[in-house]
């Protein structure tokens, strides 16, 4: 006659997990991700007009990329490829460089991250809303952060006030990914819908289909470039150009003020 054993709840749990401890560990590790995904599915998408309005106020600072980058030492890799008319690589060049940051006291005579062109930037940003229609597509995960994908395309009847609006915005479309928490641009993909000329095409012309891709990441409290890719078919005077350029940024280290010249800046 067989003897039956009764087990407590904790004993049953231990017995059932003897052969699948690894699987349970993976499931436990996935719980935060599942919670994030469920939250994003249930959370409604934001109003597009309000999203663009708030993002434009942040973009004034993000567009001053040169000033912000001066506050960091970083590594930059640039890959330049000259292409034939059918897209084959004719010449390729790779350069790596360590870009040194500038201490705060040496930036703009003590004014940190202040750009002389900021009023112009404000007008350029205002032209984006004048020229483009915006449509929210979906919520996505960009580098572990929730971002809203927004498509943009020219309106039929717009009146841009800047050269960028008249030449570029009216002839381009694409998608921008806006970080939902910080309202900063996390990713951008734009393409020319038509040729863009300079001085009626005498000086130069960028051809339809030229495209740009850029991505930013949050470092400390700043949004800094992570990588970019630009493919351009153009003509400068009588010379035809077809090239692709990729830039990758890494190893950001903030530059601090140094009061003792014998001490290194903290990293």
Q: What is the mean predicted confidence (pLDDT) over 165-172?
A: 92
* pLDDT (0 to 100) of residue 210: 92
Q: What percent of the chain has pLDDT over 90?
A: 46
- Per-residue pLDDT tens over the stretch 196-226: 876 555 557 788 899 999 999 999 888 999 9
- Rounded to whole angstroms, the Cα distance separating 224 from 217 reads 6
The pLDDT of 175-188, averaged and rounded, is 96
**235/228 Cα distance (integer angstroms):** 22
C-alpha 102/C-alpha 265 separation (Å) is 11
Residue 5 DSSP label:
-
**Confidence band (pLDDT; 50, 70, 90) for 84?**
confident
- In percent, the amount of the chain with pLDDT more than 70 equals 70
pLDDT, one tens digit per residue, over 2-39 is: 555 554 544 543 434 444 455 666 666 666 666 555 55
Please tell me the predicted confidence (pLDDT) of residue 17: 43
Q: Are 235 and 221 spatial neighbours (Cβ–Cβ below 8 Å)? A: no
Within 8 A by CB and 6+ apart from 100, the residues are: 73
Task: Summarize the confidence of residues 171-183 as an average pLDDT.
Answer: 96
The pLDDT value given to residue 249? 96
Place of tokens 């890719």: 229
24, 178 contact by CB (below 8 A): no
pLDDT over 90 at 47, yes or no: yes
pLDDT tens digits, residue range 96-105? 999 998 877 6
Cβ atoms of 113 and 107 within 8 Å: the answer is yes
In angstroms, the CA 200 to CA 52 distance is: 33
Residues 6+ apart with CB under 8 A from 179: 142, 145, 146, 147, 185, 186, 218, 223
pLDDT tens column, 222-264:
899 999 999 988 877 657 778 899 999 999 999 875 444 444 4
* The predicted structure's pLDDT at residue 234: 82
Distances (CA, A) of 132 to 51, 152, 165, 168: 14, 6, 10, 11
- Domain boundaries of the chain, sorted by first residue: 9-41, 46-254
189 and 175 Cβ atoms separated by less than 8 Å: yes
Range scoring the smallest mean pLDDT among 17-26, 54-63, 102-111, 144-153: 17-26
Q: What is the DSSP string of 133-201?
A: EEEEEEEEEETTEEEEEEEEEE-SS----SHHHHHTGGGEEEEEEEETTT--EEEEEEEESS-EEETTT
Torsion of CA 23, 25, 26, 32, to 10 degrees: 140
* pLDDT: which is higher, 50 or 57: 50
Q: What is the mean pLDDT of residues 143-169?
A: 93
Q: Angle at Cα 213 formed by Cα 205 and Cα 230, nearest 5°?
A: 40
Beta bridge partners of 188: 176, 214
């Amino acid at each position: 006659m067989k003897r039956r054993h009764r087990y407590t709840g904790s004993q049953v749990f231990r017995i059932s997990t003897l052969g699948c401890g690894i699987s349970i560990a993976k499931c436990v590790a996935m719980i935060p991700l599942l919670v994030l995904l469920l939250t994003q599915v249930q959370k409604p998408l934001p109003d597009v007009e309000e999203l663009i309005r708030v993002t434009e106020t942040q973009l004034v600072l993000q567009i001053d990329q040169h000033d912000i980058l001066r506050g960091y030492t970083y590594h930059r890799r640039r890959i330049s490829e000259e292409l034939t008319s059918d897209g084959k690589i004719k010449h390729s060049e790779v350069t790596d460089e360590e870009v040194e940051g500038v201490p705060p006291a040496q930036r703009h005579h003590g004014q940190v991250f202040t750009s002389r062109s900021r009023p112009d930037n404000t007008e350029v940003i205002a032209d984006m809303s004048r020229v483009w229609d915006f449509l929210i597509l979906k919520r996505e995960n960009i580098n572990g952060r929730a971002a809203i994908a927004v498509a943009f395309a020219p309106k039929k009847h717009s009146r841009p006030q800047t050269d960028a609006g008249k030449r570029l915005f009216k002839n381009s479309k694409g998608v921008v990914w806006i970080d939902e928490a910080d309202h900063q641009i996390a990713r951008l993909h734009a393409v020319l819908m038509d040729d863009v000329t300079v001085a009626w095409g005498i000086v130069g012309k960028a051809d339809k289909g030229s495209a740009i891709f850029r991505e930013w990441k949050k470092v400390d409290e700043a949004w800094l470039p992570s990588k970019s890719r630009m493919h351009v078919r153009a003509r400068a005077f009588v010379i035809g150009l077809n090239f692709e350029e990729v830039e990758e940024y890494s190893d950001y280290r903030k530059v601090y003020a140094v009061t003792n010249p014998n001490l290194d800046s903290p990293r």
